[in-house]
Chain A
């Protein structure tokens, strides 16, 4: 019998459905549970939390989740891999050890801790050493925003995950390991794939891409025949069943909702795609134009044919910096003439902001129900619209004008066009903008600093 490895997705982002990992462990057999918590700006949110509380800085809801699932994880021999560690993987790993002890699982849990991705404290040294860390999109040097940098993390690949698993960890907690590395790691560990077997590395990377957004490949957010997707009150999250040769199938547990089809997998494959022949990760390059999909059964899609190429000498770095302030105010105008009333209110609001001498980097007006998502492509609205929501956003480098803007929304209710409602939520909140700065760095500057520790519960 050919050995297969089952890797189940439990979270597609920080804030995903809390029942999913529990269902993945309880509703059928799996070998690994993979949970991706980190999006581009998540690290900066976590850094901000840690600056207020040194024990914070990771996905806090991962801990109550572990309280729920750890006994079953141990009992069923499932191994958990997650980047929930954020900017404090040490704190997260120690919290898991604590959960294990409290649950009476002493001696049964080994927590792998992957760190070394955090380069915030090394930025000046790296820049002095000639690494400009310029913005990949704009080409600007990091020195432009250096004094406002809040977090800086290199994207690590699967190697430290493999090492933690090789050393017997049954829960692996990492910082900024790539989404795909969390799936590729257990495959390389289980099958002993060579690190330069580029086609297999690419196959494992594609497997990771398919399940890294959770139910988005198993019926969630599926546009094709969306009415036919049933059971989304209990969506089955995707599971990869892989073989040593790099072929795999995507499926979900029986008796769960959603659908795994060529269409559902294809929609996820093209999600956030750039040049499909050149999908770059720290572990290698995958060519998405080689992926062959076939419906292999009900809620089961077979994937094969994937080829790839060598990894590059560079790692991507995710830097977050403080940008400024923004706020969004909304008011709802009702029939008759809903759209005209909303437009009149926008003119009045803008005139008042101008009269106050407030300066903004941008003021953006959208009319929800008319043009907010498709702009002019939506065409002219029906003259009979039941209601329109006026949505005005402002952005500035300074807090003061944004704060004053938030006090100019409610007055429109009694001093502007009629038939307005929807202001019960109080005045809009001023938000601090933390912006994303993608850069590249020579991997030789990072890899010697990567650490793998194993904590015994």
Chain B
């Protein structure tokens, strides 16, 4: 019986070691622009930071998620709908304008190849 090809070893890394981010608002929607810290991390973001995973990460905090790709900037843009408790001046939240939703996304854990994880952690901010 032929041996199955061994899957590349992976480990979980917090997104903050792979990307930086900035967020803003439009009404009750927060946007998070997620930018790869190194170009070589961008394919990992594309593959691992999916719309579904981001929706799961923010479950109970947002009503829906859209994702857009900006390969020219090594970036993804997420729209987090219903994230701001009404948004604008209506919201009672400290972060009514979604200014730090960006950092909340950077808490997410993503699986990456071990070698890449090691490099990313070495350059850790």
B residues near A, CB below 8 A?
20-28, 31, 33, 35, 37, 57-58, 60-61, 68-73, 75, 77, 79, 85, 88-90, 92-95, 100, 102-104, 107, 125
Report the minimal beta-carbon distance from A267 to chain B, rounded to whole angstroms. Answer: 4
Residues of A within 8 A of B35 (CB): 224, 263, 266-267, 270
B89→A269 contact, CB < 8 A: no
Residues of A within 8 A of B23 (CB): 271
- Our pick among A225, A267, A328, A376 for the contact of B92 (Cβ within 8 Å) is A328
- Our pick among A137, A293, A323, A364 for the contact of B93 (Cβ within 8 Å) is A364
A residues near B, CB below 8 A?
40-41, 137, 221, 223-225, 263, 266-277, 288-293, 305, 323, 326, 328, 362, 364, 366, 368, 372-377, 391, 393-395, 433-436, 438
Q: Is the interface of A mostly helix, strand, loop or mixed?
A: mixed
Residues of A within 8 A of B89 (CB): 41, 323, 433-436
By beta carbon, the residue of chain B nearest A395 is B92
Report the minimal beta-carbon distance from B35 to chain A, rounded to whole angstroms. Answer: 5
Residues of A within 8 A of B102 (CB): 223
- Our pick among B31, B61, B72 for the contact of A273 (Cβ within 8 Å) is B31
The 5 residue pairs across chains A and B that have the minimum distance between CB atoms: A270-B33, A393-B92, A272-B24, A224-B20, A364-B92
Report the minimal beta-carbon distance from B104 to chain A, rounded to whole angstroms. Answer: 5
Residues of B within 8 A of A221 (CB): 22
Residues of A within 8 A of B37 (CB): 224
A436→B27 contact, CB < 8 A: yes
B85→A372 contact, CB < 8 A: no
A273→B77 contact, CB < 8 A: yes
B90→A395 contact, CB < 8 A: yes
Report the minimal beta-carbon distance from B89 to chain A, rounded to whole angstroms. Answer: 5
Report the minimal beta-carbon distance from A344 to chain B, rounded to whole angstroms. Answer: 21
A267→B61 contact, CB < 8 A: no
- Known contacts A273-B77, A362-B92, A377-B104: does B71 contact A289 (CB below 8 Å)? yes
A366→B93 contact, CB < 8 A: yes
Q: Report Cα–Cα, A328/B20, bound state, in Å.
A: 32
Q: Report Cα–Cα, A273/B58, bound state, in Å.
A: 19
Q: Report Cα–Cα, A224/B102, bound state, in Å.
A: 12
Q: Is the interface of B mostly helix, strand, loop or mixed?
A: mixed
Q: Report Cα–Cα, A434/B90, bound state, in Å.
A: 8
B70→A435 contact, CB < 8 A: no
- Our pick among A263, A271, A395, A436 for the contact of B24 (Cβ within 8 Å) is A271
Residues of A within 8 A of B79 (CB): 274
Residues of A within 8 A of B104 (CB): 373-375, 377
A269→B73 contact, CB < 8 A: yes
Q: Report Cα–Cα, A305/B100, bound state, in Å.
A: 31
- Our pick among A137, A366, A372, A376 for the contact of B28 (Cβ within 8 Å) is A137
- Our pick among B31, B88, B95 for the contact of A40 (Cβ within 8 Å) is B88
- Our pick among B26, B31, B72, B88 for the contact of A289 (Cβ within 8 Å) is B72
A372→B94 contact, CB < 8 A: yes
A276→B68 contact, CB < 8 A: yes
A394→B92 contact, CB < 8 A: yes
B20→A263 contact, CB < 8 A: yes
By beta carbon, the residue of chain B nearest A372 is B94
Q: Report Cα–Cα, A364/B31, bound state, in Å.
A: 22
Q: Report Cα–Cα, A273/B22, bound state, in Å.
A: 10
Q: Report Cα–Cα, A263/B125, bound state, in Å.
A: 14
Q: Report Cα–Cα, A86/B90, bound state, in Å.
A: 22
Q: Report Cα–Cα, A24/B58, bound state, in Å.
A: 41
- Known contacts A328-B92, A364-B93: does B31 contact A274 (CB below 8 Å)? yes
Residues of A within 8 A of B33 (CB): 266-267, 269-271, 273
By beta carbon, the residue of chain B nearest A262 is B73
A268→B107 contact, CB < 8 A: no
B24→A273 contact, CB < 8 A: yes
Residues of B within 8 A of A433 (CB): 89-90
B107→A377 contact, CB < 8 A: yes
Residues of A within 8 A of B73 (CB): 266, 269-270, 288, 291, 293
A272→B71 contact, CB < 8 A: no
Report the minimal beta-carbon distance from A443 to chain B, rounded to whole angstroms. Answer: 21
B22→A268 contact, CB < 8 A: yes
Residues of B within 8 A of A275 (CB): 68
Q: Report Cα–Cα, A366/B91, bound state, in Å.
A: 13
Report the minimal beta-carbon distance from B82 to chain A, rounded to whole angstroms. Answer: 11
Report the minimal beta-carbon distance from A51 to chain B, rounded to whole angstroms. Answer: 18
Residues of B within 8 A of A374 (CB): 100, 103-104, 107
- Our pick among A273, A290, A323, A328 for the contact of B90 (Cβ within 8 Å) is A323
